[in-house]
Amino acid sequence: MLQKVNFRPGFNKQVTATGAEAQWTGGDYVRFRYGTPEKIGGWDQLGGDSLTGAGRALHQFDDNAGIKYAAIGTNRILYLYSGGQYYDIHPIDKTITGCDFSTTNTETAVTITFPSVHGMSEDDIVLLDTVTAPPGSGFTDADFEDKKFMATSIPTATTITVTMGSAATGTTANVGSARAQTYYTVGPPNEIGGFGYGTGQWSGTASGPATTTLVTTIASDMAVTTVVLTSSVAFPSSGTIRIGTEDIGFTANDIATGTLTGGPRADNGTTLALHTAGATITNITDYVGWGQSSTEEVTLEPGLWVLDNYGTTLIALIYNGKCF
């Protein structure tokens, strides 16, 4: 049966939530009107500007003159808000002069070539100034001067591409000039998986590799490419196995008979050897050699900030990175 409960107006902070029968014990942004709670105000947008990146940290402080500040860290840019204005205070990683441009007619992508390694990643920010636009491209100095661009792609260690708001009206190659100030990398907007160099185990092994035993003896003869296992169920359809000190590749796995075939003997720079029945066979397909990238996945944390103030000085730390 439904029963109407009449709550008393106001907040009773003298008793526990359990003991405050038919009473309110706390709230936020609430007033009581005609005996019932009503929200007041609510949230309003702070300024009319859109910030670049995903907001990941907010810290408010004031100076000795009582001026209020709000530091806002996104995964791309560190901002400071004060007096109704947003200021870009992101730290500069590198300042590189002598950059030039390449354009392709009717395309919006512009390639910026650096005279040295830029160290940028995709979606990182670069600020251009002292610009001489590439003649014949249809772009003017003002299209680049004191403008921030996000790297659309990273073709090489010395080039990036950016996307313009309009297409080029001519094809140019490495003309024009500019100074580029690259922003420190903060990180991706969300937690993602990653793999590559350095993600595998030390010494190039893999966790829990499949093992079994050899059924028939293998002679130290390069012509022998058939390996019969006690069981090949846990082995992939192609890859590499290790017997003793020799690595042997295979391109086919007949699970019904436990037979591996089609691969080279003495793989990975090992030498031919005699292998007797009962020898241990290890699947080393996922092992990583020196100079090779790993397919093992790791978790990459999102771009985060830790913000605080020491007196009137803002301290901004890129999580697992540098402090400014």
Token pair, residue 70, equals 């709000």
Residue 222 has pLDDT above 90, yes or no: no
Q: What is the pLDDT of residues 39-73, one digit of tens each?
A: 887 677 777 778 999 999 999 999 999 999 999 99
* Listed residue (143, 149, 144) closest to 126, CA to CA: 149
pLDDT reported for residue 285: 84
Per-residue HEC secondary structure of 148-215 comes to EEECCEEEECCEEEEECCCCCCCCEEEEEEEEEEEECCCCCCCCEEECCCCCCCHHHCCCCCCEEEEC
pLDDT reported for residue 37: 86
pLDDT band at 166 (very low <50, low <70, confident <90, very high): very high
Q: Name residue 85's beta-bridge partners.
A: 82
pLDDT reported for residue 40: 80
151 and 120 Cβ atoms separated by less than 8 Å: yes
**Per-domain boundaries in the chain:** 29-89+301-324, 92-183, 210-283
Query: Is the Cα torsion angle 275, 281, 283, 289 positive or negative in sign?
Result: negative
Q: What is the pLDDT of residues 265-307, one digit of tens each?
A: 888 888 999 999 999 999 988 776 555 555 555 667 889 999 9
Residue 134's Cβ-side half-sphere holds a number of Cα atoms within 13 Å equal to: 22
CA distance 120 to 185: 7
CA distance 72 to 76: 11
pLDDT reported for residue 206: 62
Residue 104 has pLDDT above 60, yes or no: yes
Higher pLDDT, 155 or 209: 155
Weakest-pLDDT range from 8-22, 50-64, 223-237, 295-309: 295-309
pLDDT reported for residue 92: 96
pLDDT reported for residue 320: 87
Q: Average pLDDT, stretch 75-85?
A: 94
pLDDT band at 26 (very low <50, low <70, confident <90, very high): confident
Architecture category of domain 92-183 in CATH: Beta Barrel (2.40)
